[in-house]
Chains A and B, each alone.
Chain A
Amino acid sequence: MSERPTDPELAAAIELARRLSRRRFLTRAGLGMGAVALGPSLLAACGGGDGDGSEGGSAGGGSKKLSISNWTAYIDQDDSGTFDAAGTTIDAFQKASGVSVTYKEDYKDNDEYFNKFFSPVLGKGDTLAADIVVPTYWMAARLIGLDWVEELPLDDIPNHANLLDSYLDLAWNPGATKHMPWQAGITGIAWNPTLTGRDLTSANDLYDEEFKGKVTFLTELRDSVGLTMFGQGTDPAAADLDDINAALDKIEEAASSGQILKFTGNEYLRSLENGDVAACVAWSGDIAQLNPDLGIKFAIPEEGGMQWFDTMVVPKGAANVAAAAKWMDFIYDPANAARITEYVQYLSPVKGVREALEAAGGDAAALAENPLLFPDDATSSRLKVFGELAQEDEIAVQSRFNDITG
């Protein structure tokens, strides 16, 4: 390791120095490093619970507790992020029904949740901790197709009748017997006028070289590809494989040329706020919730926008199906649905919400006139839901998209 000098006097001097340093070391060592609290590991309690992985079995009829996994910023809450503060929907529900609610905003991405929880747990017949999860419609369709959700006890959900008619004739679950929509939304384009210098009108504006490196798309395939298809003049609802691949070609080219900066989830909001990004694919409610002083604008492209919705399902084997039914019934009361919509500013699937908001007056009434929350027929006709794909096609397309998004 270290070279030994051969000069004997030097060696002696070094030996002496080494002994000196060892003594110093021992003294220092013996006195310890006062900075450390090796510390009372009194905190080493085994707190917290192990959530899932419990023995699978039939669903429980529990009606005293309820566990919900939802996306972020999707229910009214107070400033400190408390969901059951006085006056919130959850607080009202807990008081009215006696059910104690655990609400978690841990549903962040459909594929991630599927691969981390749905597939490994439900696929083996075990139960999840959550009694209600809120996947996006296509994931709900997949779960229903795999028979991993409970049939809803519609007799216990009289307000099911308040569901907008358009949700009742979906091919993958006619009559909405196994899911109840939570909120719907529109995917369009958002931009920062100070950075773009003009207003954007078309999905193809995102491909304008003027904004090179200042554009982001979403990691949600159906949104990014759908808008691109609109721009190319093809119909996302038809979900033709060639058209989809043509759109993917265009996205791939834009990504490798540097036109598209990154593919994001909700974090596009941060880049918009900070000015790192000039324009992007965006969700209507996110922009509506933004501070208007920031000046961010949103529009449905003239060729069309994507319509989507997130919906409540009860995973197979959930312990508290009765409580879940009570919750769904409560949510579908127009007064409660209006309160939620007022906060999240997405499209409500419940009939009568518009009237409830108008009746409330003030800011709420202004929302009733907001075309992003209550689109008129002309706007609605420009919105499309991405068509359904066969399983192998869906996997192939998703795989290709994943490679493009990096």
Chain B
Amino acid sequence: MTASIVATKQRRPLRSRLLGFWAILVYAWLFAPIVVVVAFSFNRPAGKFNTAWNEFTLDNWADPFKRQDLTDSLITSLQVAAAAAFVATIFGGLMALATSRYEFRGKGFVNILTVLPLTSPEIVLGSSLFTLFFARDLGLGFTTVVIAHIMFCLSFVALTVQARVRGFDWSFEDAAMDLGSTPWRTFRTVTFPLILPGIAAAALLSFALSIDDYIITSFVAGDATTTFPMRIFNAAKTEIPAQVNVIASMILLVAVALMAIGAWRTLKQEKA
């Protein structure tokens, strides 16, 4: 007597409904601040802080890049994130490949070293880098920010790719090479496409982490470089123009659009 292969879902109506209701509540909670951010992008603040509703206006969207300092800081953040994500993904991806495919002396050390930055509070990472740069008389600025961001993204990339790649059946590679493919070609045509989702996820994660980082950046940026989170944190103390909400909403729209495309394509594939 073989059990049927297709799993039958036995519905437990009440439990399912409760879970569904809980899910709705959680999503409402997750999106509450987002609703506020987007809603307030249409606000004309009465005072200097765009945190109390005053009156509806479309002016902010008409001129979202009005605040030069905000826009400049956003561009700086994007540049830093692109550079950091690029380098961290390559280095971290290589590390993940190495640790998940090979046994070697020092593997324990590598594993620990990879995880340690994640267990260190950001403020310690930031302040230690500051003391390093300061002791070596290195000028703080764009370069030091990128260096710092690569450092903390490396661990995330390594672990993300490792998690994806763990449990892989590497015999695919062996098969390819038995069939006469060179190692490089094997990597290009067999391995890389297989690990690509992990790499892509890690790159996206690095980019997001880098754009959002405040604490570490504030220590190593020096007085010449301002990233978007730094600008907002300063703004939180002195003035929050509505353009902050507009730019945040725009970033959100782009992210949602990208995800929608991805989800639509996945749904299409699952139907096929």
Contacts and interface: CB of A to CB of B under 8 A. Distances in A.
Interface of A: 9-10, 13, 16-17, 22, 26-39, 41-54, 69, 72-73, 79-82, 104-106, 108, 116-117, 120, 124, 126, 128-130, 264-267, 269-270, 273-275, 289-291, 293-294
Contact of A51 (B3, B79, B139): B139
Interface string B48-79: 11011000000000010011111000011011
Nearest to A37: B258
Nearest to A120: B134
Interface of B: 1-3, 5, 46-49, 51-52, 63, 66-70, 75-76, 78-79, 82-83, 85-86, 89, 134, 137-144, 146, 169, 193-194, 196-197, 199-201, 203-204, 222-226, 234, 236-241, 258-259, 261-263, 265-266, 269
B48 to A, nearest CB: 6
B261 A34 contact: yes
A291 B86 CA distance: 46
Nearest to B259: A35
B89 to A, nearest CB: 8
Given A50-B143, A126-B137, A266-B237, A35 B261 contact: yes
Contacts of A265: 237-238
Contacts of A120: 134
B223 A43 contact: no
B262 A269 contact: no
A126 B169 CA distance: 57
Given A13-B5, A33-B262, A291 B47 contact: yes
Residue in B1, B79, B263 with the greatest tally of chain A CB atoms within 10 Å: B79
Contact of B48 (A34, A51, A54, A269): A269
Nearest to B3: A13
Nearest to A80: B66
Contacts of A294: 46-47
B142 A50 contact: yes
Given A43-B78, A265-B237, A35 B258 contact: yes
Contacts of B137: 53, 124, 126
Which 6 A-B residue pairings sit nearest by Cβ, starting from the closest?
A35-B262, A51-B224, A53-B139, A50-B141, A48-B142, A50-B139
Nearest to B144: A50
B237 A267 contact: yes
A47 B140 contact: no
Given A9-B3, A47-B76, A106-B223, A52 B140 contact: yes
B238 A16 contact: no
18 contacts: A9-B1, A13-B3, A28-B197, A29-B197, A32-B197, A38-B200, A50-B224, A51-B139, A52-B224, A53-B138, A53-B222, A80-B68, A81-B67, A81-B241, A106-B234, A128-B223, A269-B47, A270-B236
A72 B223 contact: no
B146 to A, nearest CB: 8
B5 A129 contact: no
